[in-house]
Protein backbone atom coordinates (compact mmCIF):
# COMPACT_ATOMS: atom_id res chain seq x y z
CA UNK A 1 0.00 0.00 0.00
CA UNK A 2 2.56 2.51 -1.16
CA UNK A 3 1.47 6.04 -1.93
CA UNK A 4 -1.80 6.15 0.00
CA UNK A 5 -0.60 8.40 2.83
CA UNK A 6 -0.20 5.99 5.73
CA UNK A 7 3.43 6.99 6.27
CA UNK A 8 2.61 10.69 6.17
CA UNK A 9 -0.28 10.23 8.59
CA UNK A 10 1.88 8.23 11.01
CA UNK A 11 4.73 10.76 10.89
CA UNK A 12 2.31 13.68 11.28
CA UNK A 13 0.68 12.09 14.35
CA UNK A 14 4.08 11.36 15.87
CA UNK A 15 5.22 14.93 15.20
CA UNK A 16 2.11 16.24 16.95
CA UNK A 17 2.85 14.06 19.99
CA UNK A 18 6.48 15.18 20.13
CA UNK A 19 5.62 18.87 19.74
CA UNK A 20 2.86 18.49 22.37
CA UNK A 21 5.66 17.46 24.75
CA UNK A 22 7.25 20.87 24.00
CA UNK A 23 10.15 19.64 21.87
CA UNK A 24 11.39 22.67 19.91
CA UNK A 25 12.75 20.65 16.99
CA UNK A 26 12.52 17.18 15.43
CA UNK A 27 15.31 15.75 13.28
CA UNK A 28 15.45 12.97 10.73
CA UNK A 29 18.14 11.72 8.36
CA UNK A 30 16.97 9.95 5.19
CA UNK A 31 19.42 8.78 2.56
CA UNK A 32 19.87 11.59 0.00
CA UNK A 33 18.79 9.26 -2.83
CA UNK A 34 15.46 8.45 -1.10
CA UNK A 35 13.51 11.15 -2.93
CA UNK A 36 10.13 9.72 -1.89
CA UNK A 37 10.97 9.97 1.84
CA UNK A 38 12.49 13.43 1.43
CA UNK A 39 9.34 14.64 -0.35
CA UNK A 40 7.15 13.35 2.49
CA UNK A 41 9.36 14.95 5.14
CA UNK A 42 9.35 18.26 3.25
CA UNK A 43 5.56 18.13 2.92
CA UNK A 44 5.41 17.77 6.70
CA UNK A 45 7.66 20.76 7.32
CA UNK A 46 11.15 19.30 7.46
CA UNK A 47 13.94 21.24 5.76
CA UNK A 48 17.48 20.13 4.96
CA UNK A 49 19.90 21.13 7.69
CA UNK A 50 23.24 21.20 5.91
CA UNK A 51 24.55 19.09 3.06
CA UNK A 52 24.45 15.29 2.83
CA UNK A 53 27.14 13.71 4.98
CA UNK A 54 28.71 10.35 5.53
CA UNK A 55 28.15 8.68 8.91
CA UNK A 56 29.16 5.29 10.24
CA UNK A 57 25.67 4.13 9.23
CA UNK A 58 25.92 5.48 5.69
CA UNK A 59 25.13 8.65 3.77
CA UNK A 60 22.41 10.89 5.27
CA UNK A 61 20.61 14.13 4.53
CA UNK A 62 20.05 15.84 7.92
CA UNK A 63 16.59 17.44 8.11
CA UNK A 64 14.77 19.30 10.88
CA UNK A 65 11.24 20.53 11.60
CA UNK A 66 10.64 23.24 14.19
CA UNK A 67 7.66 23.81 16.44
CA UNK A 68 5.94 27.09 15.65
CA UNK A 69 6.07 29.94 18.11
CA UNK A 70 3.33 30.48 20.66
CA UNK A 71 0.35 32.38 19.34
CA UNK A 72 0.35 30.72 15.93
CA UNK A 73 -2.69 28.48 15.75
CA UNK A 74 -1.41 26.31 12.91
CA UNK A 75 0.31 23.00 13.49
CA UNK A 76 4.09 23.18 13.05
CA UNK A 77 4.02 21.67 9.60
CA UNK A 78 0.91 23.24 8.03
CA UNK A 79 2.88 26.07 6.42
CA UNK A 80 4.96 23.46 4.58
CA UNK A 81 1.83 21.69 3.35
CA UNK A 82 0.59 24.83 1.65
CA UNK A 83 3.97 25.27 -0.08
CA UNK A 84 3.87 21.81 -1.68
CA UNK A 85 0.18 21.16 -2.41
CB 11: neighbour CB atoms within 10 A? 20
**pLDDT tens column, 9-58:** 999 999 999 999 999 999 999 999 999 999 999 999 999 999 999 999 99
Domain ranges of the chain: 6-84
Return the CATH fold of 6-84: Aminopeptidase (3.40.630)
Model-wide pTM > 0.85: no
Amino acid sequence: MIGVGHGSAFISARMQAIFDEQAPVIATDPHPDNKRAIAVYEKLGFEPFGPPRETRWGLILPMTARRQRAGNSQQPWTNALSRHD
